[in-house]
Homo-oligomer: A and B are copies of this chain.
Amino acid sequence: MTYCVALRLDRGLVFMSDTRTNAGLDNISTFRKMYSWSDGEACAVTLLAAGNLATTQSVVSHLEERMKAPADRAPSILSMPSMFQVARMIGNLLKDVIAEHAETGQRADAAFNATLIVGGQIRGSEPRLFLIYPEGNFIEAGEDTPWFQIGEVKYGRPILVRTFRPEMTFSEAAKLLYVSFDSTIKANLSVGLPLDMQLYENGSFRPTDIRRIEADDETYLAISEMWSEALTNAFAHLPEVETEA
């Protein structure tokens, strides 16, 4: 499994992903699920991936090859005129990669599906955030729900629903994601540390604060512990339920 979240704040975008992949419970590895491309001037795009690792790595490799060989006929992310076109291109690529292996007689237990979050900004328009389905189609984060989750979304969702506000600072948003990931990691073995985080400030065309949160990260551990205590305290102070026995 996997857990990835992207938030669209008023001041920019925030991305976080875990790094645990597994082929069965007895085969667990650490792989990056966050990728980003930017030219520092007119284009910055970040991608979060959940699903079959062969599929998502293949999508990313295709995207990177296109950038390394400019003469290649395939278009590069960095030359796209809009985020909509970026999402369209990545969606088509994802669909093609899945179809390529599905057609060769799939014998795996699970499908080769993957779901992606793609966010970023192209000069001339606002930052945008998309969720891309295995079929290649996609939806955009709007004002009502300016964030997306993929992978194991349930455990970390309640705190997002209760606490997220678009006007949050990057620091508050990071704290919110620390809590959301902590709840998920505590509940599902197949989501695990370290975490990757990245901030994108509107109009910067370059991600800032690219960090990896390791299992011994002091802030992460402090938040995890204090959150646990706070929940226990809050529970103790709720009104009593009267019972007959």
Contacts and interface: CB of A to CB of B under 8 A. Distances in A.
**This chain: copies in complex:** 2
Given A158-B186, A161-B187, A235 B179 contact: yes
A147 to B, nearest CB: 15
A235 to B, nearest CB: 5
Given A158-B155, A226-B238, A231-B162, A244 B199 contact: yes
Given A162-B232, A232-B162, A12 B238 contact: no
Interface of A: 11-12, 154-155, 157-159, 161-163, 169-171, 174-176, 178-179, 183, 186-187, 199, 201, 208-209, 219, 222-223, 226-228, 230-235, 237-245
Given A174-B241, A233-B234, 19 more contacts: A154-B155, A154-B187, A155-B158, A158-B187, A161-B187, A162-B231, A162-B232, A163-B231, A171-B241, A171-B242, A175-B241, A178-B241, A179-B238, A199-B243, A209-B245, A219-B242, A223-B241, A227-B238, A231-B231
